Amino acid sequence: MLVSDFHYYPLDFKRPSGTSRGILTKKEAWIVRIWDDKNPKIKGIGECSIIRGLSPDDRENYAEKIHEVCQNINQIESYFNGELIEWPSIYFGFEMALKDLSNNGERLLFESDFTKNEAQIPINGLVWMGDKTYMQKQVQEKIKTGFNCIKLKIGAINFDEELSIIKSIREQFSAKEIEIRVDANGAFQPDDAINKLKSLAEFDIHSIEQPIKAGNWEAMAKLCQITPLPIALDEELIGVYRLEDKIELIRQIQPQYIILKPSLVGGFKGSQEWIDIAEKNAIPWWATSALESNIGLNAIAQWVYTLNNPMPQGLGTGQLFTNNIESPLEVSQGHLIYNQSKKWDLNELLEA
């Protein structure tokens, strides 16, 4: 018989991190453990974590829902097929823990050349919002440490200042040398978005994530038709649970790319549904972590490697926290690697 428990493990940012939704100082996370009562030494570990104000399951009774699923862990399949679909980060945490348990609780959810340290995953270097000086400093650091794909969060400071940061990158590096992605987090107004996209397009930008707020399919579809630079849907996918609704969203909007955050779209299963629909429509995709600890980041990285997607993924966020869990994951020269000589430090989690 399966047994499960959980505990709260908030992640503290080394530096308050800015998005167009505000400043983040803490990421709320709960660590889930599952084991068989006949073999309690082998435990599967998962992470349920939310971004306040963004996660669709950011609700007051979040911890109570995790507790309920732990109490009924032997009915987990009925939860997966039912109400957990609308609790995507909890779905993902239990999906992750069960996958880990089924592979002997060694945090090797998907063994591959990546986990053998024979292959690496290219990732983008993330530049957080801040004043111009701070953003430029981050850009220089990312390029110096070997990233050739830079993602800038925009929409919080003066747009002309943001353009000047991008211009300064392009004055030094061509699009072949440094790929630039920008993420507006829905900051542009629908009636002004096209002008901003035209300004950005002058700098050979790879793509822009979510230029306008999610939920306005008609405006987004129109923008995707006339945009001078590719649009990637991100928040637009959040809260769309039924397969037929996912198919309809892609059919109506016809984006140039989609971005998958398993914690926000229902784990491996929910993400795979989006991937299947996108690929049927010849729409490329990439995956991004949603500020998980190394427990969640490890699961996403191992999973995405098996899908043979050559694009840089958004998986470099593990270095943001003062109290992240020690793991074999490392960022080196713009790639995520699984350094087997580094071990997991899970004593606190396994003995809690």
Active site residue ranges? 153, 261
- End-to-end Cα, the chain, rounded Å: 21
Residues forming a β-bridge with 18 = 23, 129
187: Cβ contacts below 8 Å, ≥ 6 apart:
20, 154, 155, 156, 211
Q: Using CB atoms within 10 A of its CB, is residue 230 exposed (0-12), middle (13-18) or buried (19+)?
A: middle
94: Cβ contacts below 8 Å, ≥ 6 apart:
4, 32, 34, 46, 48, 69, 76, 79, 80, 84
In 3D, which of 162, 147, 233 has the Cα closest to residue 18? Answer: 162
Q: Pairing mode, if any, of strands 179-183 and 39-50?
A: unpaired
In 3D, which of 66, 76, 125 has the Cα closest to residue 102? Answer: 76
